[in-house]
A = this chain, B = another copy of it.
Amino acid sequence: MFESAQVGHAVDKDTYEAEEPLLREALLEAQYALKAQARFPVLLLINGIEGAGKGETVKLLAEWMDPRLIRVESFYSQTDEERSHPPAWRYWRKLPPKGRMGVFFGNWYSEMLHDRVHDRLDDAGLERALDHAQRLERLLTDDGMLLFKFWFHLSRKQMQARLDSLKDDPLHSWRISPLDWQQSKTYDSYVRHGEHVLRRSSRDHAPWYVIEGADERYRNLAVGRILLEGLQAALAQQPAAVAPPHSAPVAASLDGRNLLDSLDLSQSLSKGDYKRRLLEEQGRLSQLMRDRKLRERAVVAVFEGHDAAGKGGAVRRVTGALDPRLYRVVPVAAPTDEEQAQPWLWRFWRNVPEHGNLTIFDRSWYGRVLVERVEGFCSPAEWLRAYDEINDFEEQLVEAGVVVVKFWLSIDKQTQLERFEAREKDPLKRFKITEEDWRNREKWDAYNLAVNDMVARTSTEIAPWTLIEANDKRFARVKVLRTLGDALEAARDG
């Protein structure tokens, strides 16, 4: 894979000087079109051999183009906030918004390669890291991101020569980091694993570009042209309606039976039982959240349910048991404009709790496959893709030690009607019922189909759905608390 980047590519001065100004202008123009369209972001991953011109190339791009529209991030050392979140969190929070360019040094590839070379990862670990990277890149490019992966290469001999020539030059020696010297010792291992990583992670939607780094002029023109062609093609492309790969509803059932309908909604608790068990469960939850063993974990509780199913009341019975410094309730409503300039999962990533904390999502990322699906706010291709994106997201949470608990609060249509009417009569609760609730109610069957699909496709062994029979609020609240307590207990003992 690297052979073609060791042939001694070079560009002569005249050619360079003829082409450079044209390239510059065209890049600048493309950059402004990118900003004006604001349809997608551009991300450059910068990897490769130290001394092969990574820093210099990015510096040059910032000179050629408008540096106000480029944001360069490096991820060499983790901050403690980053360490107390799932690994991908630090990348998510630095993603460029639509219309802008981001450059990631020290990205996920640097991380996995460095760890592999220094034996902090074995082969299986490297495969897992590659798999995570693939899923992240797939999600980002599906969302429209234009992703460039550059590998700057040098042969061993070229590298040594370059380091030697740089080290005595005060204007350029900043380009050598302690890492460089280290790498000169691990070159063979780095290249061998690098080749494997590149092969496994080159995809049509996110190919690797291997750039021979020895000749500065060649390197500059090569990167510039690749970037320009990619940008121009993406800018010219009309966003086509993507046909969904499978358009049959997933959980449509031939016999009319489904999971939601199979719930026994008549289950209930007497007032006395409720009081006693509520206190018991709240006490248990309160103790569990203070358990030392759970300090290095975090908890995510998702509340979804029919309108008027009692989500708010259940949430308050949970928070009532907890120290307010340790939980946060995130109500999910329309995204802000900063959120809209990012992939749809970004606004949930930014709310992932840090170690020791619990975040309750009052509605959640499942909106994508519920309301957005039913109301047509996203395309079928988008919501069909979302099931996998959600499962990946939750897998990352769970792998990072986050306990994920998901509740669907289910009521029947008659109960909803009674609650809607009761709310309309109660001056204090009238604000809770809107025209939209009545409209949603008309789509009861479509919503239920979506819920059945959702449960069928996202109730996984690591993050199962718990369906809550919620016609009786007391029964529902106790079951929510008990489930949460069980999950925390399992995490503590596991």
Contacts and interface: CB of A to CB of B under 8 A. Distances in A.
A286 B80 contact: no
Contacts of A290: 174
A331 interface: yes
A174 B321 CA distance: 11
Interface stretch (A54-62, A195-203, A394-402): A54-62
Contacts of A62: 319, 324
A452 B428 CA distance: 55
A25 B71 contact: no
Contacts of A69: 331
Given A79-B81, A81-B81, A59 B29 contact: no
Interface in A54-79: 55, 58-59, 62-63, 66-74, 79
A324 B72 contact: yes
Given A79-B79, A283-B170, A338-B336, A32 B325 contact: no
A215 interface: no
A428 B29 contact: yes
Contact of A174 (B58, B74, B286): B286
Nearest to A63: B320
Interface string A78-109: 01110000000000000000000001010000
Given A323-B59, A338-B336, A338-B338, A67 B329 contact: yes
B67 A287 contact: no
Contact of A74 (B286, B325, B329): B325
A97 to B, nearest CB: 9
A428 B30 CA distance: 12
Contact of A286 (B105, B171, B316, B320): B171
B283 A324 contact: no
Contacts of A338: 336-338
Contacts of A322: 59
A299 to B, nearest CB: 15
Contacts of A337: 336-338
A53 to B, nearest CB: 13
A362 interface: yes
Contacts of A71: 328
A68, A73, A286: most-surrounded residue (chain B CB, <10 A): A68
Contact of A323 (B55, B331, B362): B55
A155 to B, nearest CB: 25
Contacts of A63: 316, 319-320
Interface in A3-62: 25, 28-29, 32, 55, 58-59, 62
A315 interface: yes
A246 B149 CA distance: 57
Nearest to A279: B171
A85 to B, nearest CB: 12
Contacts of A431: 32
A143 to B, nearest CB: 19
Interface string A283-308: 10011001000000000000000000
A363 to B, nearest CB: 10
Nearest to A322: B59
Nearest to A71: B328
Contacts of A287: 170-171
Nearest to A28: B428
Contacts of A323: 55, 59, 174-175
A62 B70 CA distance: 42
A71 B329 CA distance: 8
Interface string A328-346: 1111000011100000000
A323 B25 CA distance: 23
Most buried by B among A67, A71, A170: A67
Nearest to A105: B325
A83 to B, nearest CB: 10
Contacts of A329: 67-68, 70
B59 A324 contact: yes
Given A68-B331, A80-B80, A174-B286, 5 more contacts: A67-B316, A73-B325, A80-B81, A337-B338, A338-B338
20 contacts: A58-B324, A58-B325, A59-B323, A62-B324, A63-B316, A63-B319, A63-B320, A66-B312, A67-B315, A67-B324, A68-B312, A68-B315, A68-B362, A70-B329, A72-B324, A72-B325, A79-B80, A170-B287, A175-B323, A336-B336
Interface of A: 25, 28-29, 32, 55, 58-59, 62-63, 66-74, 79-81, 103, 105, 170-171, 174-175, 283, 286-287, 290, 312, 315-316, 319-320, 322-325, 328-331, 336-338, 362, 428, 431
